[in-house]
Structure 1
Amino acid sequence: MARITAGIGCSHIPVLGFAFDHRRTEEPIFKPAFDGFSWTRDWLREKATPDIVILVYNDHASAFDMKVIPTFAIGCGERFLPADEGFGPRPVPTVEGHPDLAWHIAQSLILDEFDMTIINEMEVDHGLTVPLSMMFGAVERWPVKVIPLAVNVVTYPPPSGNRCWALGEAIARAVENFPEDLDVQVWGTGGMSHQLQGPRAGLINPEWDNRFLDRLAGDTQELRTIPHIEYLRETGSEGIEMVMWLIMRGALGRSTRALHRHYHVPVSNTALGHIVLEPVDGSVPPSATLEGNDPTAQALIA
Structure 2
Amino acid sequence: MARITAGVATSHVPAVGAAIDLGKTAEPYWQPVFAGYDWSRQWIAGEKPDVVILVYNDHASAFDMRIIPTFAIGCAERYGICDEGWGPRPVPDVIGHPDLAWHIAQSCILDEFDLTIVNEMQVDHGLTVPMSLMFGQPEAWPVRVVPLAVNVVTYPPPSGNRCWLLGEAIARAVESYPEDLNVQVWGTGGMSHQLQGPRAGLINAEWDNRFLDWMSGPYGDELRAIPHIEYLRETGSEGIEMVMWLIMRGALGRDVRALHRHYHVPASNTAVGHLVLEPVR
Taking structure 2 as the reference length, what is the TM-score of the superposition? 0.99
C-alpha deviation, 1:94, in angstroms: 0.4
Counterpart secondary structure, 1:81: strand
C-alpha deviation, 1:269, in angstroms: 1.1
Counterpart secondary structure, 2:27: coil
C-alpha deviation, 1:254, in angstroms: 1.2
Q: Segments of 4+ in structure 1 off by > 2 A?
A: none
Does residue 19 (structure 1) correspond to residue 12 (structure 2)? The answer is: no
Question: Higher Cα Rg: structure 1 or 2?
Answer: 1
C-alpha deviation, 1:217, in angstroms: 1.5
1:90-109 mapped onto 2 (5 Å cutoff): 90-109=89-108
C-alpha deviation, 1:20, in angstroms: 0.1
C-alpha deviation, 1:218, in angstroms: 1.9
Partner Cα separation in structure 2 for residue 193 and residue 255 of structure 1: 25
C-alpha deviation, 1:220, in angstroms: 1.7
Correspondence for 2:111: 112
Partner Cα separation in structure 2 for residue 128 and residue 116 of structure 1: 18
Correspondence for 1:124: 123
The RMSD of aligned alpha carbons is 0.4
Correspondence for 1:148: 147
Opposite residue 250 of structure 1, the aligned amino acid is G
Partner Cα separation in structure 1 for residue 263 and residue 184 of structure 2: 21
For each residue in 1:49-104, what CA deviation from the matched residue of structure 2 results, as whole angstroms up to 9, or x when unmatched? Answer: 20000000000000000000000000000000011001110000000000000000
Correspondence for 1:57: 56
Counterpart secondary structure, 1:267: coil
Counterpart secondary structure, 1:164: helix
C-alpha deviation, 1:3, in angstroms: 0.1
Counterpart secondary structure, 1:80: strand
Counterpart secondary structure, 2:170: helix
Gaps spanning 5+ residues in structure 1: where?
282-302
Correspondence for 2:7: 7
Partner Cα separation in structure 1 for residue 137 and residue 240 of structure 2: 30
Alignment size in residue pairs: 280
Opposite residue 138 of structure 2, the aligned amino acid is V
Partner Cα separation in structure 2 for residue 183 and residue 44 of structure 1: 12
C-alpha deviation, 1:17, in angstroms: 0.3
Counterpart secondary structure, 1:115: coil
Opposite residue 41 of structure 2, the aligned amino acid is R
Partner Cα separation in structure 2 for residue 130 and residue 188 of structure 1: 12
Correspondence for 2:44: 44
Counterpart secondary structure, 2:253: coil
Correspondence for 2:83: 84
Partner Cα separation in structure 2 for residue 95 and residue 167 of structure 1: 23
Partner Cα separation in structure 2 for residue 102 and residue 178 of structure 1: 10
Correspondence for 2:195: 196
Partner Cα separation in structure 2 for residue 219 and residue 49 of structure 1: 26
For each residue in 1:186-215, what CA deviation from the matched residue of structure 2 results, as whole angstroms up to 9, or x when unmatched? Answer: 000000000000000000000000000000
Correspondence for 2:184: 185
Partner Cα separation in structure 2 for residue 48 and residue 40 of structure 1: 10
Counterpart secondary structure, 2:259: strand
Partner Cα separation in structure 2 for residue 126 and residue 255 of structure 1: 31
Identity %: 76
Correspondence for 1:135: 134
Partner Cα separation in structure 2 for residue 244 and residue 99 of structure 1: 22
Correspondence for 1:225: 225
Opposite residue 115 of structure 2, the aligned amino acid is M
Opposite residue 189 of structure 1, the aligned amino acid is T
Partner Cα separation in structure 1 for residue 65 and residue 145 of structure 2: 26
Partner Cα separation in structure 1 for residue 156 and residue 163 of structure 2: 13
Does residue 216 (structure 1) correspond to residue 215 (structure 2)? The answer is: yes
Opposite residue 127 of structure 1, the aligned amino acid is G
Partner Cα separation in structure 2 for residue 108 and residue 163 of structure 1: 16
